[in-house]
Structure 1
Amino acid sequence: MSDIKKNVLVSFKEYLLIIVGLVSYVLGWVIFLIPNNLVGGGVTGISSIIQYATGIPIGYSYFVLNLVLLIAALFVLGKGFGGKTVFAIFFTAIGMNLGQEYLPSDIIQPLAIENGKLMCTIMGAILAGFGMGMTISQGGSTGGTDIIALIVNKYRNVSPGKMILWMDVFIILSSMLVPSYTSDGSLVNWSDKITTVVYGFIYIVIISTVIDLYLAGSKQSVQLFVLSPKYKEIADAITGDFHRGVTVLDGKGWYTQHSVQVVMVITRKTDLNLLLKCINSIDSNAFISVSSVTGVYGKGFDTIKFRKTDKK
């Protein structure tokens, strides 16, 4: 397979996963949060406050407010990030409006209205967090405060989920200062606003936790030691098919007193099953040891980030 075809397949996979994540994010809002006049964080939270106050569909204000942050992301995070995020913003803005307009009420009624606001807060946060985590893991963003979080994360070892959490607190609290109206046109009273703020805090705690859990899982690495007489074929397959560096170590089996070669490789946990299948197809009797590693830094993995200090 040529490099061009490989790049096309990689890009197709990334955008496909981004679409899946965005659908999850949109459904979390359209089904569970918006019908209950619930407020979240980020630009989506601001846009929801605008919709509750003015009736302007969330998709329009969501798109407009993201433009400034998108320009900043293009300069700091590069064109690759910007392209995916432009796609994500368009998709989310259109999805929010189409979802509210065309999603049947007989679906929303039993899922959202009848289950109560607390359950809807939890379900909406889980769906939105899963979708946002999947989108970020593929180099994109749903826009808003997660763009800021990724910009900061580029230079500091700061969890994106924690960054989003603290930025969203202000947005949730600000919802109390803006008059809100329900779908039937009635004004939301102060007691309901306070309840909405509490649910908003629950939402941002859950969504930040889900984002961190998803990103931790997608970035987790594993270390493999493989003992096999076909170590050359295995090493060639790993470097050729998975584009991972391989180290061949000289060893000695103490029981047999025979010299052996040990293939060592570190890869993402998401590639583990395919890697094991590859090794098994070459040598079904290969001895394989798999262990999790707490951190891997260098080319193809994470980058060590230090806090910048002034030189004396």
Structure 2
Amino acid sequence: MRKILAEYSGMLLGALFITVGLYFFWLPSQLAAGGISGLSIVIKAILPFVPIGVIILVLDIFMFAIGFVALGKSFGLKSIICSLEIAFLMVILEFLFPDFKPLSKDVLVVLLFGALFIAIGQAIVFNLEASSGGTDIIAKIIARYSGLNIGTALVIADMTIVLLAIGIFGFEKGLYAVLGVIVTSTLIDYIISGINVQKFVTIIPSSCETTAHINTYILHTLDRGATIYHAEGAYSKEKKTVITTVMDRREFIELKRHIAGIDALAFVTVQNLHEVVGEGFKR
């Protein structure tokens, strides 16, 4: 129950970041950088009397109806909930801050800060194995029936919306929208890599006694698994024991402190892993 609550709280947090980026940065400057959000900004310009939250809600319902027919239930309950959260948060913000003006006259500054908020929100949502709906569904349909990979299909869907933005807002805003698509997708990848990063640690203790201490600490104090290899020094020809393990940043700091306290001569190397699948990590 606690895990489910944490997941849905995380989805709400991600939806809030996305909504803030859209409403306070991209919408006032008419930056339609792909996605349902971009399409809703275009429609808002055509129908200014319709609340942006209502536009997003109607588009999401339409997209999920198409997805249900073309894909079945593959897009999942989490994605539906997340897209509805964004729509309702937009309605709330539009009620609290009607006719919000651009925070800056510098469109590039607004674009980058909006992309940062949206990328953080999307990264949180994607990391919880959900999505914000919208053009993700269209991309999956294109990929299924055209043979293209999902990344290429998503670019096609987003760039179609950017072309609509050029027709409504002009060529300059369209160029900013293209830049927004590129920056946001790059930031999402970078943030997800940072969220998922784990440490692959290789330890060569200086003695058999400290090997046992370090191994016990990893297994019983940190509650992590480890693998032991038997090796030989290339120069000294001495028999060595090598311990390898994978853990998060906090656990590595504790392990490093423990090793420094009992074996100052231990040889330790560390590598960053951007995704780990298996027991104790992502399944």
How far apart, in 1, do the equivalents of 2:220 and 2:88 lie? 43
Q: What CA deviation, in whole Å up to 9, does each residue of 1:20-43 have, x standing for no partner? A: 322221111111111122212111
How far apart, in 1, do the equivalents of 2:120 and 2:172 lie? 25
Could you tell me which runs of 5 or more consecutive residues in structure 2 were left unpaired when the two chains were aligned: 206-210
Structure 1 residue 300: Cα displacement: 7.5
How far apart, in 1, do the equivalents of 2:157 and 2:215 lie? 51
Q: 2:106 aligns with which of 111, 116, 122?
A: 116
How far apart, in 1, do the equivalents of 2:89 and 2:125 lie? 15
Residue 230, structure 1, aligned to residue 217, structure 2: no
Are residues 127 and 301 of structure 1, via their aligned partners in 2, closer, same or farther at CA, if it must alter by over 3 Å?
same
Q: 2:96 aligns with which of 102, 105, 111?
A: 102
Residue 170, structure 1, aligned to residue 164, structure 2: no
Structure 1 residue 103: Cα displacement: 3.2
How far apart, in 2, do the equivalents of 1:277 and 1:234 lie? 10
Q: 1:140 aligns with which of 111, 127, 130?
A: 130
Structure 1 residue 95: Cα displacement: 0.9
Residue 250, structure 1, aligned to residue 224, structure 2: no
Structure 1 residue 291: Cα displacement: 1.7
How far apart, in 2, do the equivalents of 1:281 and 1:259 lie? 23
Aligned residues: 266
Are residues 97 and 297 of structure 1, via their aligned partners in 2, closer, same or farther at CA, if it must alter by over 3 Å?
closer
How far apart, in 2, do the equivalents of 1:85 and 1:137 lie? 12
8 A Cα contact 2:200 2:273, kept in partner? yes
Q: 2:45 aligns with which of 27, 49, 52?
A: 52
How far apart, in 2, do the equivalents of 1:281 and 1:150 lie? 48
Structure 1 residue 266: Cα displacement: 3.3
Residue 216, structure 1, aligned to residue 230, structure 2: no
Residue 266, structure 1, aligned to residue 246, structure 2: yes
8 A Cα contact 2:42 2:164, kept in partner? no
How far apart, in 2, do the equivalents of 1:220 and 1:163 lie? 27
Residue 62, structure 1, aligned to residue 62, structure 2: no
Are residues 297 and 211 of structure 1, via their aligned partners in 2, closer, same or farther at CA, if it must alter by over 3 Å?
same
8 A Cα contact 2:82 2:132, kept in partner? yes
How far apart, in 1, do the equivalents of 2:258 and 2:150 lie? 39
8 A Cα contact 1:159 1:212, kept in partner? no
One-letter code aligned to 2:39: I
1:189 aligned residue:
none
Residue 207, structure 1, aligned to residue 184, structure 2: yes
2:208 aligned residue:
none
TM-score, normalised relative to structure 1: 0.69
One-letter code aligned to 2:57: F
How far apart, in 1, do the equivalents of 2:97 and 2:71 lie? 32
Q: What CA deviation, in whole Å up to 9, does each residue of 1:137-179 have, x standing for no partner? A: 22121111234557869xx99675x65333211111123456x
2:17 aligned residue:
24
How far apart, in 1, do the equivalents of 2:9 and 2:124 lie? 10
Are residues 274 and 232 of structure 1, via their aligned partners in 2, closer, same or farther at CA, if it must alter by over 3 Å?
closer
8 A Cα contact 2:198 2:249, kept in partner? no
Are residues 134 and 297 of structure 1, via their aligned partners in 2, closer, same or farther at CA, if it must alter by over 3 Å?
closer
Are residues 263 and 229 of structure 1, via their aligned partners in 2, closer, same or farther at CA, if it must alter by over 3 Å?
same
Identity %: 22
8 A Cα contact 1:26 1:95, kept in partner? yes
TM-score, normalised relative to structure 2: 0.75
Superposition pairs of residues 173-188 of structure 1, within 5 angstroms: 173-177=163-167
1:35 aligned residue:
28
Are residues 14 and 275 of structure 1, via their aligned partners in 2, closer, same or farther at CA, if it must alter by over 3 Å?
farther
Structure 1 residue 74: Cα displacement: 6.3
The SS at the match of 2:133 is coil
Structure 1 residue 246: Cα displacement: 2.5
Could you tell me which runs of 5 or more consecutive residues in structure 1 were left unpaired when the two chains were aligned: 1-7, 179-191, 304-312
How far apart, in 2, do the equivalents of 1:88 and 1:246 lie? 38
